[in-house]
């Protein structure tokens, strides 16, 4: 298998801004029995960019994430992650190897922290692999020789840095399960970042947050992108988050990609409006969009009925 050959196979898939593609998804299809959850989706996510994946409920966004992070094995398709010096074909890797070797971190739609462990411990567990090496796979650590002590204090410093970013330093020694909902969401992002990812996948990070918390989240994600120069992949329903911080939006509907481009492009894309608003509710569509729609498809058509 030659990874170098694999990359230039489909030159058409590019990032709209022209940035270097970090993640390239080609013809991804995921079937569960007769149900096609993701249908031939291709797109590229740029390095140091925020790529949002949006779409109505059941559009296949989380399935796409689960394929990316190895929790599902895609039926068809290629998922290549390009670090610059190394390339990884994610569809061939186990879930924990994707996190360990390819450095893809993720958060979950329903928060998955380690509730009975302290906030700090949550962040230290995220640095497991580096610490494991430092402790000589526990052998030297048990005997108290080698540089484990130093490695652990470095890990705590790194955790403290992320606690500062998510504003949780004063809760560091509390159990993660005792935090309020919004803080748990922030902690999950901090935990993912503690594993030093090159691609961070966030599954609805703004779900259940109030407007102020949403604004803070926007600032945090933008900070991560600009300061740490990593790619972010974001599933989100909250359009105030999506439109404000995304560099690139991919829209899914019924498992298929219906639009792909900059926020401005997607906002005006008739296919997106159709998917989100449906065609019956014409009165809610702004007049200029309605005029566009009239040219594309007859109003009130049966084709898109749901």
Partner 1 sequence: MAVEAGKRAGSIDGVDLQALFKEAGLAAFVAFGLAISVVGVRTVTIPGGLGLEYRWEWVVIAVAAVFIGRFVLAFRRETRSPARRAEREATMDRIGAGVQKVARIAGPLLFIFAVALPWMPFSNRYIVDIATLVLTYIMLGWGLNIVVGLAGLLDLGYVAFYAVGAYSYALIAIHFDLSFWICLPLAGLFAALFGVLLGFPVLRLRGDYLAIVTLGFGEIIRVVLLNWYELTRGPDGLSGIPRPSFFGLPFSRRVQEGSDTFHTFFGIDYTSMQRIVFLYYLILALALITNFFTMRIRRLPVGRAWEALREDEIACRSLGINPTNTKLTAFAIGAMFGGFAGSFFATRQGFISPESFTFVESAVILAIVVLGGMGSQIGVVIASVLLIGGTELFRELEQFRMLAFGGAMVAIMVWRPRGLLAHRDPTLRLGAAAKGGGP
Size of the site for partner 1 (CB under 8 A): 48
C-beta of 132 vs 297, nearer to partner 1: 132
Identify which of residues 100 and 256 has a Cβ nearer to partner 1 in the complex: 100
- Whose Cβ is closer to partner 1: residue 120's or residue 209's? 120
Give 114-119 contacts, CB < 8 A, sequence gap 24+: 114/176, 115/175, 115/176, 115/177, 116/175, 116/176, 116/177, 117/175, 117/176, 118/172, 118/173, 118/174, 118/175, 118/176, 119/163, 119/168, 119/171, 119/172, 119/173, 119/174, 119/175, 119/176, 119/179, 119/187
Beta strands in 33-172 (DSSP E): 35-46, 50-54, 76-82, 87-89, 104-106
Q: By CB under 8 A, what part of segment 223-252 binds partner 1?
A: none
Q: Of residues 29, 89, 114, 154, which one binds partner 1 by CB under 8 A?
A: 114
141 contributes a contact to partner 1 by CB under 8 A: yes
Report DSSP state, residue 19. P
Is 193 in a helix, a strand, or coil? helix
Query: Could you say which of 15, 43, 67, 106 contacts partner 1 (CB under 8 A)?
Result: 106
Give the nearer residue to partner 1 in terms of CB position, either 71 or 254. Answer: 71
186 is an interface residue for partner 1 by CB under 8 A: no
Least gap, CB of 185 to partner 1 (angstroms): 14
Rule CB under 8 A: which residues touch partner 1?
A: 69-71, 95-101, 105-106, 108, 112-118, 120-121, 124-126, 128-129, 131-132, 135, 137-138, 141-142, 148, 152, 156, 159-160, 163, 169-173, 191-192, 195
């Amino acid at each position: 298998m030659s990874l170098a050959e694999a990359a230039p196979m489909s030159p058409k898939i590019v990032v709209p801004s022209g940035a270097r593609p970090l993640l390239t998804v080609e013809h991804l299809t995921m079937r569960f029995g007769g149900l096609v959850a993701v249908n031939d989706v291709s797109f590229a996510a740029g390095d140091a960019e925020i790529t949002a994946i949006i779409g109505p409920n059941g559009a296949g966004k989380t399935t796409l994430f689960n394929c990316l992070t190895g929790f599902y094995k895609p039926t068809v398709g290629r998922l290549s992650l390009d670090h610059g010096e190394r390339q990884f074909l994610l569809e061939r890797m186990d879930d924990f190897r994707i996190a360990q070797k390819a450095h893809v971190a993720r958060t979950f739609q329903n928060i998955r922290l380690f509730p009975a462990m302290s906030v700090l411990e949550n962040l230290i567990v995220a640095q497991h692999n580096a610490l494991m090496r430092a402790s000589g796979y526990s052998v030297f650590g048990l005997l108290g020789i080698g540089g484990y002590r130093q490695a652990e204090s470095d890990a705590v410093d790194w955790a403290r840095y992320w606690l500062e970013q998510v504003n949780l330093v004063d809760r560091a020694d509390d159990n993660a399960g005792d935090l309020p909902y919004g803080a748990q969401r922030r902690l999950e992002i901090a935990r993912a970042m503690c594993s030093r990812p090159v691609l961070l996948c966030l599954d609805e990070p703004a779900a259940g947050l109030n407007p102020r918390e949403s604004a803070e989240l926007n600032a945090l994600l933008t900070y991560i992108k600009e300061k740490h120069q990593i790619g972010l992949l974001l599933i989100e329903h909250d359009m105030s988050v999506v439109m404000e911080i995304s560099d690139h939006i991919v829209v899914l509907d019924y498992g298929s990609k219906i639009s792909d481009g900059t926020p401005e492009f997607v906002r005006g894309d008739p296919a997106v409006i159709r998917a989100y608003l449906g065609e019956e509710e014409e009165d809610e569509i702004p007049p200029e969009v309605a005029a566009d729609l009239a040219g594309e498809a007859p109003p009130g058509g049966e084709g898109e009925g749901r």
